[in-house]
Amino acid sequence: MTRKGKRLTLISGALAALGLAAGLVMFALRDNIVFFYTPTQLVEKHPAPGARLRIGGLVKQGSVVKGEGRDVSFVITDTAKEVAVTYTGLLPDLFREGQGVVADGVLAGEGRFRADSVLAKHDERYMPRDVAEALKKQGVWQGEKK
């Protein structure tokens, strides 16, 4: 085998090993990858029920309904579309109507979302970047002016 052939074999083997390693990492992380959607994107893309998602937006005024025990239902909106969310657990102290939230969970069906966790903004300037950009596009952003 020539010197050029040995080099080509070595490079091909290294690329194959790198590809295999990348494939194994992606396979191992497939259940941990969570995509972020605004309510409008969720309605437009129609992900399959049972898909793990992260949705964010504002808690619609008058939509918070506390059920038995720790059950809570509310609506997340980006002022164009809405997604009904159900959650069982303790809500963050900063959770309230009209505030920005991000919910992680599973799409339960058409327009319904079952949250495993709910995160509220931590101060008046914080809003997830994707949510802020979606609200800016719709002209309802009330964040800091630059």
DSSP secondary structure, 86-113, as one string: EEESPPPTT--TTSEEEEEEEEEETTEE
Listed range (34-43, 61-70, 135-144) with the worst mean pLDDT: 135-144
Q: Which pLDDT does position 6 carry in this prediction?
A: 92
Instruction: Give the residue numbers of the binding site.
Output: 122, 126
Binding residues for heme: 122, 126
- Is the pLDDT confidence value at 29 over 50? yes
pLDDT (tens digit, 9 = 90+) per residue, 15-25?
999 999 999 98
